[in-house]
Homo-oligomer: A and B are copies of this chain.
Amino acid sequence: MFPDSFASALESWIGLLGADFVVSDAASLRAAETATFATTQRIPAILRPANREQVQECLRIANRFHAPLYPVSSGKNWGYGSRVPPADDCALLDLGRLNQILDFDEDLAYVTVEPGVTQRQLHRFLQERQSSLWMDATGSSPDCSLIGNAMERGFGHTPYGDHYSHVCGLEVVLPDGSVIQTGAARFPGSLTGAVSRWGAGPSLDGVFSQSSLGIVTRMTIWLMPKPDVFEAFFFRSTSPDGLPALIDSLRRLRLKDVLRSSMHIVNDYKVLGGLRQYPWAETNGQTPLTPDLMAKFRKELTFGYWNVSGGLYGTKMQVADAKRLLRHELSSQPGKLQFLSEDKLRLAVRYAAPFKLFTGLDIRRTAKLVEPVMGLMRGEPMAPDFALSSAYWRKRNPPPPDPDPDRDRCGLLWYAPTSPAEGQKLERLAKLTVETMLKSGFEPMISLTMLTPRIVYSVLAITYDRDVPGDDQRAMECYNRLLESCQREGYYPYRSGIQSQNYSGGLDEYSNLLTRLKQALDPNGILAPGRYQSLLLQGCSRQP
């Protein structure tokens, strides 16, 4: 891009949006250029359109001057690149002002939103209307965009946890500024725009998910009716070899539709990271946390090598039956199964001491983790301080009341490989992870989500302190090693960070096809260049 042509584009954008909504002060730009790992990309301006028409016009200007744009909804893509574009010199197109809830239907159980609508906003909206519907929330900040998360194919904890599978009727601004509606919403006066997933003719929703081929400015999200009964279950596996049998049991119950939600299974390191910061005192400042000390914490804080949490939803009889079958499936496995209703949780917190006596569960300590997790199972977004606390794991100071991992120089890199829901396959993935990460000097924090009966999404968190000299580089090296060893054995990600989205060597036919689509829809390459245009394969990455 020539500086002159960028200056002309900027002038046109200011003319369109007004100077107040084109941000270019050094501090704001610097903040936007900061992720939770080292990046070098520069952002020359932040555009804040008020509506879809302005989004379209921003794109037309971008085409006129060949000035690339990178759209973000809420920009809270922590661990994957935050607001930083994969390519240099993209102006940020901040969609936060498009924040209207446009439609809502209690009977058909859906809501239609713009990209600036956050988890918190929808949750409040449903509460204010005393709706009997539940949303699904991710475990990230309540201020995350619903559209941003669904289009990145994020997930939560209820039966509607696979977000991308529960949305339809996208409004998409194409790179040339034209607008389409997907699914049945494309037809004038259609009655099924908010309920039809595929429409008629080629279904194009997927083209705009994890892509640089359009900007989603409207989306319908399906909501779940509050079940008659909700209860949580927790299982802590007390054997280091407990994972394979656990996965196979849960898969069987998922396939039978006895368990219906996206269950989460986390290892000991991941639980500890949710409960507290790094034990600097106990370790005399040494990292990573040793297995011995990990054993001590497991015992002290009453959690297992592997810790399952899941919701049971349904009629009274359905939930009772699910409990019976869960007990039966897990009875032969070393560990402890607990069921927790909301009433029981309240009582347990009140009578913590006798509760521990009967159950062995130290509710005072674990309630800190259990309460927000049970909230997530009901689709309630977490409070920001809790949701983001684990990003501060290796920091020396506690998380502030208004956490911001980018600003506070939290180090966080996520690699998110997928595996078939088979015990042995996940055991191998876990072993690979633990080995690679400990060797690199980071705690292997593993979270596994059985998103469907057949697939597990894992999120491997490399958590560090960007203020420790050299850690940015060590963490990226760890990430590369992790990616390389996982992909060599067939564990490819469901989602990718900006450092792994644009790989230009040895393209496969699929990447060639994406390039042809990109050229057809965005011949000037002005929309999010490099974003998911290809995906990093084995052993290749751009170093920060």
Residues of A bordering B, CB below 8 Å: 107-110, 153, 159, 164-165, 174, 178-182, 184, 186-192, 194-211, 213, 222, 225, 227-228, 248, 251, 255-258, 260, 313-315, 317-318, 320-321, 325, 418-422, 425, 452-455, 487-496, 501, 508-510, 512-514, 516-517, 519-521, 532, 534-535, 537
The CA of A514 and the CA of B107, in the complex, are separated in Å by 34
11 contacts between A and B (CB under 8 A): A178-B512, A187-B492, A191-B425, A191-B489, A191-B492, A195-B454, A200-B492, A227-B256, A228-B256, A258-B318, A317-B320
Q: Which residues of B contact A260 (CB under 8 A)?
A: 257
- Asked whether A517 and B520 contact (CB < 8 A) given A203-B210, A213-B202, A422-B107, the answer is yes
Q: A201-B211, A205-B206 are in contact. List 8 more A-B contacts (CB 8 A).
A: A110-B454, A178-B512, A191-B491, A192-B419, A195-B421, A198-B494, A256-B314, A258-B315
Q: Which residues of B contact A258 (CB under 8 A)?
A: 315, 318
> Are A200 and B317 in touch, CB under 8 angstroms?
no
Q: Which residue of B lies closest to A174 (CB)?
A: B513
> Are A495 and B200 in touch, CB under 8 angstroms?
yes
> Are A195 and B109 in touch, CB under 8 angstroms?
no
> Are B422 and A108 in touch, CB under 8 angstroms?
yes
Q: Which residues of B contact A228 (CB under 8 A)?
A: 256
Select A315's contact among B208, B248, B321, B537, beta carbons within 8 Å: B321
> Are B315 and A179 in touch, CB under 8 angstroms?
no
Q: Which residues of B contact A191 (CB under 8 A)?
A: 418-420, 425, 489-492
- Asked whether A203 and B206 contact (CB < 8 A) given A108-B422, A190-B490, the answer is yes
Q: Which residues of B contact A489 (CB under 8 A)?
A: 189, 191
> Are B109 and A509 in touch, CB under 8 angstroms?
no
